[in-house]
Amino acid sequence: MIPHSRPTVSAEDAECVARVVRSGHLAQGAEVEGFERELTARLGVPAVAAVSSGSAALELALRALDVGPGTEVVVPTYACDALHHAVTRCGATPVLADADPATLGPSAQDVARRLTRRARAVVVVHPFGLALDLDQFLALGVPVVEDCAQALGARVAGRPVGSRGALAVYSFYATKLLTTGEGGAVAGDAARVARVRDARDYDEREDLAPRFNFKLTDIQAALGRSQLGRLDAFIARRRAIAARYRARLSAAAGCRPPGDTGERHVFHRFVVTVERPLGPVLDRLTRGGIAARRPVFRPIHRALGVGGYPEADRLWTHCLSLPCYPSLTDAEVDAVGTALAEALRG
């Protein structure tokens, strides 16, 4: 079976982790501080706080923007459930926005029409590795949280993704662009990141303001630092895989692969649009030893049992995510492309 996702971990990564384990200092410490410094330089932002997961990063970023009871946060419905959970854990109300069929991210026009005076933030997800142009979102006058969980390393107009919003969040889950196993980060201005850093650790505080145990460990940070040093190579391989897929699928009937968007896309996912119903296509690929998936498990509005999001419904019906990760071989890419073309013909 060719898996849909697979971590890319080297012997060098393992040795970096083993060195920390042998040191006896396992919790948050010098490795986390080093990881934060290196991320700050890479992302082109004033400050970074490393945390225990991308979900924790989302929640802490919203809290740093004073999201709470009586406020609303606009989030895309065609996205991970973590967005909805983070807003509700803050006591706020998630307001769902429809998708943009051109980018697969949130529609700025739909976000605009769903804003009310209670809106405290808008979460803009950079979808599947594609860095969105934020101009339309920033013009709305509401703080923007950039969700860069799938777009670390992408650039727009020469600037790193995550460097323009009020805050940006990242995920370092096992199969993300770089991994710490579990982990995440919040990036932005020093004052807001200081609030995140304060809230990620509750221990030995004089007051009882809400805080959490959302720390990253030195074990995880050592892996992250090792991976960060190879991020450019990881991205180059992902782009090469995407180019090979495009060449293989250019003549496939009923299949539209993503275009070449240069430095804006790091291809965390290679998402194609197919005309046929996805169920039989997925079944045929599975029988052929290939794990493909819908890029979003299901839109959030479907879990809530509400309608009014036609573009998200259409994307869920027609978008397919193919295996795309640095350790995927050219032979595997060719096998996936051939199998998809055959499934579409069938």
Q: Kindly list the domain boundaries of the chain, sorted by start residue.
A: 11-228, 231-345
Residues 108 and 135: beta-carbon distance below 8 Å: no
Query: Mean pLDDT score of the chain, rounded to an integer?
Result: 97
pLDDT at 346 over 90: no
pTM score > 0.85 for this model? yes
Six-digit token string for 228 = 């960060």
Rounded to whole angstroms, the Cα distance separating 42 from 36 reads 10
Look at residue 25 in the predicted model and tell me its pLDDT.
Answer: 95
pLDDT at 73 over 90: yes
Residues 272 and 320: beta-carbon distance below 8 Å: yes
Q: What is the mean pLDDT of residues 316-324?
A: 98
Dump pLDDT digits (tens) for 195-234.
999 999 999 999 999 999 999 999 999 999 999 999 999 9
Yes or no: is domain 11-228 CATH 3.40.1710.10? no
Provide the β-strand partners of residue 99. 106
Q: What is the mean pLDDT of residues 174-191?
A: 98
Rounded to whole angstroms, the Cα distance separating 298 from 295 reads 9
Quickly tell me which residue has 């998708």 as its tokens. Answer: 99
| Half-sphere exposure in the Cβ direction for 96 (13 Å, CA) | 23
Least Cα distance to 55 among 75, 81, 33 occurs for 81
Q: Which amino acid is at 59?
A: E
Least Cα distance to 97 among 117, 87, 84, 111 occurs for 111
pLDDT at 285 over 80: yes
Yes or no: is domain 231-345 CATH 3.40.50.300? no
Predicted confidence band of residue 134 (pLDDT cuts 50, 70, 90): very high
Least Cα distance to 183 among 28, 38, 37 occurs for 28
**Number of C-beta neighbours around residue 18 at 10 A:** 12
pLDDT at 174 over 90: yes
Q: What share of the chain is helix, strand, coil (3-state, %, to 5)?
A: 40, 15, 40
pLDDT at 9 over 90: yes
Alpha helices in the chain (DSSP H): 11-23, 30-43, 54-64, 82-89, 108-114, 135-138, 190-199, 218-228, 231-249, 278-287, 300-304, 310-318, 330-345
Q: What percent of the chain has pLDDT over 70?
A: 100
